[in-house]
Structure formats: structure tokens, C-alpha cells
Structure 1
């Protein structure tokens, strides 16, 4: 299995279609060759690719409907997977929304 096929297969889990040019750009960003054979040693690089790609995928519309046909994307599963990737890679979870809470009553 080629690296590009591995990435495409994983994206199909979310029913997401990504252009070849975007995949090529992300492969370059993590120093991977899409035509090389996938092996478990490349897991960190492929996980980094998904870490970089998921925020871009979340920018698309969540619901698409046309002529009685409707598609709803499950963004929550991507957000959860992104959090897992961030923890595994030791990188910040950029999708967490920090909230300021008033704790003055505890003083």
C-alpha cells in the first residue's frame, strides 16, 4: 500500500474527499513521498500530516444539501481524533476553546 493510498483510506472514514494537490502539499510539509510504500515506521509522519490537515477540513460546510439530497459531515469525530493526535505527538490541541471562568468566589 502506498502512503497516498493510506491517507486516502483514512479520509474515507469521514467521507471526506480531499484534492490531490492538498494531499501533495501536506505530504511535502511532513517530508513524505506519497508513492513510497507505507510502513509502521512512518506513523509519526502520517499522524503529523493528519494533525496539520484536520483543521483545514473543519473549515468546510458541515451540512450540504442540493435537490433533496443532503450530506452531513461528522466534525465531532474529527475533533476527537485531532485531540488524540495532539496528545500522541505532544503538540498543542489548537481546537480547544479556552474559557475564562470567574473563580473569585473561591477566594
Structure 2
């Protein structure tokens, strides 16, 4: 399975179809080619790149209805996946509504 296939299938579980431009953006930020084989050596890089891409993804419309065609996707699930990735890879979760305590 290629990196692009892996990324596409991960987002497809939330009902999201990514464009070639989306896949390129994620691949560029992971420093892994979309045509590389997905494996244990690059899962971390690809997952972090996916997490960094999710906030821009959530700026898009979550449902589209046109000429009898309707499409929507699970924003709650995507946010939970994002939070999971942030926690797993030590990234700042900028989408969470959880209160943060900071000591000065």
C-alpha cells in the first residue's frame, strides 16, 4: 500500500474524499513521497502530517447538497482522530475545547 492509498483510506473512514492536491500537501509536509510504500518506518511522519492537515480540512463545508446529490462527513470523528494523533505524537491540540491550565 502506498502512502497516498493509506492517507486516502484513513480519511475515507470519515466520509472524506481527498483531492490529489490534498494528498500532495500531506506528502510534502511529511517529507515522504505519496508513492512510497507505507510501513513502520514512516507511519509516524505520515500521521503527524495528517494531524497537521486536519485543521485546514475542517474549514471546508461538511455537507454539500446539489441537484439531488448529497454528501456529508463526520466532523466529530475527525476532531477525535485529530486529538488522538496530537496526544500520541506530542502535538498541540489546537481544536480541542478542553480548558488548559498554564502557570506563568
**TM-score, with length taken from structure 2:** 0.84
Give the count of matched residue pairs.
100
Tell me what 1:49 maps to.
Answer: 49
Pairwise CA RMSD: 1.8
Q: Using a 3 Å threshold, how does the CA distance of structure 1 residues 81 and 65 change in structure 2: closer, same or farther?
A: same
Task: Report the counterpart of residue 77 of structure 1 in structure 2.
Answer: 77
Q: How many Å separate the matches in 2 of 1:2 and 1:63?
A: 28
CA-to-aligned-CA distance 1:25-84 (integer Å, 9 cap, x gap): 221112111111111221111111110111111111122111233222110000000000
Distance 2:74 2:25 in 1: 24
Give 1 or 2 for the bigger CA radius of gyration. 1
TM-score (norm 1): 0.82
Unpaired runs of at least 5, structure 2? 100-104
